[in-house]
A and B are shown apart, each in its own frame.
Chain A
């Protein structure tokens, strides 16, 4: 089947097998390997991307379901060479160790901060509970997201 998608601001047209998962399309066809596969069952969240600006798990969507959609992956989150505040705060606060879950968590958090710009610790824990991290115990991830949210809010206010 033919699909038209816009990924990280670039338009693509591809013939794909109907069974091809979106995450395999992104990784194998477009070679955007920052989106990871941890469980193939929508539980671990390593495959989280934005579809039409909403966070979604790309391992349980077919590529054909994304026809006509605008997709952002971790590779497209920085703009004009400037890192997204979340990317900066994860580095600043040691919010990652092995880095495998990190793109998914950042994509989830980027959507979440748009909806709740001034989140509490509890809000953040609730928002990212669909993303598993085995390295950090989440402590520094919570701190990273909180700091990025504060920074983004300040930028908006200014």
Chain B
């Protein structure tokens, strides 16, 4: 590898910002194609209903209407696929009912599409959709996952008896874990709900399908996190159209958080219909559609039990979860409550035996899939709520309990990676380090003194801890494949050195706020010893970028960035051959550093630009070498990465009203090596805000009829500026030992660590006031906190 010129590690200001701050960003809805038409959908107002008839006659006669398609018109087309197979405990495959593009016979959640209306203008399409007459026959509804698996519950799909998609188990045997816990000096149990969340990217999903009849080629513009994956799924699994005749473009995307990973039905529909009409078709979700249709997150009901010996060392952990998957299987829905959840229940602790049992359930609700953190926040919530509760019950300090149970530091080089009881091998970690730093930032000793004083004046002060670990950098394809993934999880990079030495980089990663155009350019400029302005990052277009798996699971830098480094290695290697020939030296005598190829021990050197020019004008050139300087690489990681850290919340509860005020939030994260500290800090801030949102403000609420009762910004509270404090952040660096950048990923850490810290802080505040409280259901509204206080009657 070449030596670096030090741009890696600097808080370089973002390259992409100029277009965003001047209003020149280009999001899908900003694109207006020549002859563009507009789609609007007729959607079921019922959560479960037979469709008796659909009458389109009146709508079709309305001004501007070009076509109306119903569920019957697409009945012969495949549904959108699920990308991850999870088996039952006996090895039989999960229940996988069709997720149709539109429904012909039965609607299974509110918002299920019954018909698509296409008109000349947006307003005409909306008006005509309202004029489509659908007669429904309401069916009994099942909403709650626990109730859905009780005998006699209404069935969502005939093919899934008992509404069960799969029953899955991981870890040690139940008998072994039960025996270990039974023999413990102390047992802590907790039953709780990890509530359903709505991702709420501020940019609604938007698609334009377009067909070029002369070239028989489709183009889909889509607000997606992974354009190539959408192309693959849509072409090969849904529409059966040739992949090389489809271009998928993911332009600027206005936030995603997982919700724009999946292949949605509307993507396939606008593409399919664009050929029928021979006109471009745009569909942009209205916010109420985002609430009803963007895949939701979380929604677990969990029972957990943890044992401790007389020295407060963990003896065993047993977790049982019912996971609500909604009405259909979204693209990655099945791996979230299994391989992204159960595998993380080791946490940062030396727990000797672990068993996790998950029942995944269909209900008449919006499909659930990965939302920032995806499975890992749920696992962290289980462990970190248990740890603070256990410490309280045993009368010991929650930080001390953690120190006692941490896995000792290991760097993955001199000390082996840590093999967990739940199928993973952690790469490197120093959990003592992040908690120690967090306690120092908090001023723990002073805090406990302050807490005592505070309880005397009507306000209850509490502190909550969360020491989390996550598995990121998804993923080694062979491991993912063995676990049921139906795709590879490598990433693709291409570095094209232009004849003048300027560099175009093509990446399969997709940036939708993460700043790849900056941090990836930093890597290239650093490694090649050139200016950042001489590097351009190109992403999001399947016609420009060879292939890609996209951005999710905090994978872009660890996997996509590593693919770029692999390309640079190849460029430097070829550059050395060219340099050796030109300077009449042997290849082994050429060094490359700071943008210069030098003959060792001499003052002879050639610049990177000289070599680039020679590669494209190969007059004096090695005989056996091809011209050009352009390499691609498919990087498949050998392991996941394991970022970790410690989050600490300080909360204050009003004794009279139960109102919670978050006073401080401290995040110490170890995401391995850092390319751009400013961007990493920003990622942590955003994740923390979403995690606090779950703890204090957010939660999708369905009524018994399956109506989402808070499906608007007026009813569903995502944190506003005056709901949050300034965050106190710090980083520790324990490099990842198995990728060339030593990076672990920072996108999800904030959302994974923060939620239990906040809930723990509120409960600690109540404990400090003498209230006997074990759990409060999130979000911790003042009503819920006040009720918990009444039930836990102050002493």
Contact = CB atoms under 8 A, between A and B. Distances in A.
Interface of A: 17, 19, 24, 27-28, 31-41, 43-44, 46, 73-75, 77-78, 83, 87, 90-92, 94, 96-103, 106, 121-122, 124-126, 128-129, 131-142
Interface string B1-15: 000000000000110
B203 A36 contact: yes
Interface string B195-211: 00000111110000000
B204 A37 contact: yes
Given A98-B203, A139-B685, A139-B724, 5 more contacts: A73-B23, A94-B678, A96-B17, A103-B20, A137-B690
Contact of A41 (B26, B123, B287): B287
B29 interface: yes
B714 A134 contact: no
Given A36-B254, A125-B722, A140-B685, A132 B713 contact: yes
B514 interface: yes
B386 interface: no
Interface in B202-241: 202-204
Contacts of A39: 287, 712-713
Contacts of B722: 122, 125-126, 129
Contacts of A32: 23
Nearest to A91: B17
B25 interface: yes
Contacts of A34: 22-25
A2 B16 CA distance: 38
Interface of B: 13-14, 16-27, 29-30, 32, 122-123, 200-204, 252-257, 284, 286-287, 512-515, 678-679, 681-682, 685-690, 712-714, 718-722, 724, 726-727, 750
Most chain B CB atoms below 10 A, which of A36, A92, A103, A134: A134
Nearest to B253: A98
A27 B30 contact: yes
Contacts of B682: 94, 97, 135-136, 140
SS of A interface (majority): loop
Contacts of B750: 137
A124 B21 contact: no
A35 B22 CA distance: 10
A32 B679 CA distance: 29
A36 B252 CA distance: 13
Nearest to A98: B513
A130 B254 CA distance: 18
Given A43-B714, A74-B22, A137 B724 contact: yes
Nearest to B18: A91
Most chain A CB atoms below 10 A, which of B17, B18, B123: B17
Contact of A99 (B122, B513, B688, B727): B513
Contacts of B32: 28, 31
A139 B287 CA distance: 25
10 contacts: A37-B29, A38-B254, A75-B22, A75-B23, A78-B22, A98-B255, A99-B254, A132-B720, A134-B686, A135-B513
Given A33-B23, A99-B25, A129-B721, A134 B17 contact: no
A134 B20 contact: no
Contacts of B689: 134, 136-138
Contact of A128 (B252, B688, B721, B727): B721
Contacts of A121: 726
Contacts of B204: 37-38
A150 B287 CA distance: 36
A98 B122 CA distance: 26
A129 B718 contact: no
A96 B712 contact: no
A141 B287 CA distance: 24
Contacts of B257: 134
A134 B23 contact: no
Contact of A134 (B22, B678, B690): B690
Contact of B721 (A24, A96, A98, A124): A124
Contacts of A101: 202, 254
Nearest to B286: A40
B165 to A, nearest CB: 29
Most chain B CB atoms below 10 A, which of A19, A106, A126, A138: A138
Contacts of B203: 36, 38, 98, 100
A100 B21 contact: no
Contacts of A92: 13
A142 B721 contact: yes
A73 to B, nearest CB: 7
A99 B517 CA distance: 14
Contacts of A27: 30
